[in-house]
Structure formats: C-alpha cells, structure tokens
Amino acid sequence: MEYARGGPLSRALAGRRVPPHVLVDWAVQVARGMNYLHDEAVVPIIHRDLKSINVLILEQLSDEALERCTLKITDFGLAREWHQTTKMSAAGTYAWMAPEVIRLSLFSKSSDVWSFGVLLWELLTGEVPYREIDALAVAYGVAMNKLTLPIPSTCPEPFARLLQECWDPDPHARPPFGAIVARLEAIERSAMLAMPVASFHSLQDDWRREIQSMFDDLRTKEKELRSREEELVRAAREQKTQEEELRRRARELAARELAVVERELHLLMHQLHLEAPRIKRRKGHFRRGRLRLRDGGRISLPSGMHMLP
C-alpha cells in the first residue's frame, strides 16, 4: 500500500484543533470503508481491531490541508472472513472491544460497529478512551455491560443517539454501517456544523473537562475496588492458612488417637499372653486297670481303624 504521510489518526487528534466539519468528514470516510468491507467486498471481512491508531491519513498534515485528507483503514492482521457470527481467538484492544468479544470471543459485523462508536467518540472529544484506567478493570466493566465511555451532557443529540446505538449491549440492535453512513451524511448536510469553529472547540474543552471528571471518578472507584480486592485476597489467604492449621491439628489428633489404640491393643495382647489358660487337674489317681474289661480283654480301637505301616 502507499505510504501514508499523515500518520495515524490518533496522532492527528492529539493536541490539534480540527474543525467540526472535518471531523464528521473523517467519520464518514471510515464508515464508508467499513461498509465496503462488510457489504460490498467480494469476500465480506470483519476487521476486529478498528481504532484510531489503525486509521492512517494519506496526505501530509497541515492546518490548511485538513479538509482534503484521505483516510485509510489499515492493519488487517486480525481481520477474518465473515460468516455471520464467528467465535475466534481473542483479539483487539479492550477499550475498543465489544462486550461479547471480551466475554465470549464472539465476533460479528456488530462488534466492528461497537469499535466504530469508540472511534467516533475519539473524533468528537479528542480524548483517549479510558485514559489511565487499568485495562483489566475496563475489560471487566465493558464485558459485564456496566461500563461505557461517557457521552458529554452537551453532546449534540444526533451524535449522542448514534453513540448509544453503536454501544447497544445487544449486538443485533446496533445499526449496520450503511445506516451509519446515511446518518453521518445527514449530519454533514444539517445546520449543526455551521457553528463557528471557536465555539465548537470551546464546547470540546467543556467535554474534555466533563470526561476527565468522570474518568477521575472511575479511577477513584477503581482504587477502592482494588483496595477491597486486596483485603479480600488477604482475608482469603488468612482463611486458607487457618484451614491448613485446622487440618494439621486434625491429622495430629488422628495420629494420637491411633497411637493410643495401638498401645491399648499391645497391652491387651500382652495380658492375654501372660494369662495362659489353667486346666483343672482331676483329683485322685487314675488306675490303668480300669481300661480292662470285665472279661479280661482290653478296650479295642474304634472299628474301621487300621494301623499305618
């Protein structure tokens, strides 16, 4: 592919004042590119890693040439052919990943729509998603449908509604890119973008402060949760130690009881050995003459018995 002199879109948004109509034009270009991948390409493709750093600007950046910039969607190393809904190996960056992707590694066209919503949020606010917030905390919050990027209270209603729809927890409820392109083009034609650039940038500054405050709250909650988690881990470790101590004592007690039983058995056997059975002797004298019969003969052996040689 050709060399993109403007670098990644994320770099263009960092510290640069971009007019609102240019931001919307860039959003339209990305949406058209994704619509091509999903519905117009010979083989439909799921990108799986759509984010601002993977969108390059073809021309050299300058404040005068922003309106003529051409955006290119790149980095297809994780892209896969689309077969409706596909379970694949985990891929992407948590801040841009849909809940079903983090939770189940379940990819579809709708998971790219979620990522586009995050990219649109970047364009509007100029902020980094979940700045300085632990990635695993973000992954858990998004996966459990408890966390989405904050939409500024003064964000224009068409953008706010589009962001909410892109981040719908139900993947089937998210709009396809064809509908997204149509809505962004309608915004381009509306009078909403006719506001002075200075007014829009002032509005962006308010959004950043509001978002920063929300992120600060998230970081505070994250620290509290981490502290509680450490306490739970410590308590679990202590409980495990106590359980091991109880098991050790139980083993010692069982060994002692077994030793006592063995000693008792030895004593009992020793006593049985010492106390040999005493046979009562017959009183008086036994006379051999009594073995003789009256007729003078002796008592014969039992019948059928024969002497062995």
Q: Where are the beta strands (DSSP E) in the chain?
A: 7-8, 45-46, 55-57, 71-73, 80-81, 86-87, 106-107
pLDDT at 88: 46
Position 284 pLDDT exceeds 80: no
DSSP structural state of residue 9:
H
CATH class of domain segment(s) 7-198: mainly alpha
User: Which residues are known to be catalytic?
Assistant: 49
In sequence order, what are the residues at sequence separation of 6 or more whose Cβ sits closer than 8 angstroms to the Cβ of residue 184? 24, 27, 28, 31, 162
Average pLDDT, the chain: 83
* Residue-range domain boundaries for the chain: 7-198
Taking residue 265's Cβ as centre, other Cβ atoms within 10 Å add up to 10
- pLDDT, position 143: 86
Q: How far apart are CA 54 and CA 11, in angstroms?
A: 11
d(C-alpha 210, C-alpha 5), whole Å? 33
Query: pLDDT digits over 118-165, tens only?
Result: 999 999 999 999 888 888 888 888 888 888 899 999 999 999 999 999
What's the pLDDT score for residue 124?
93
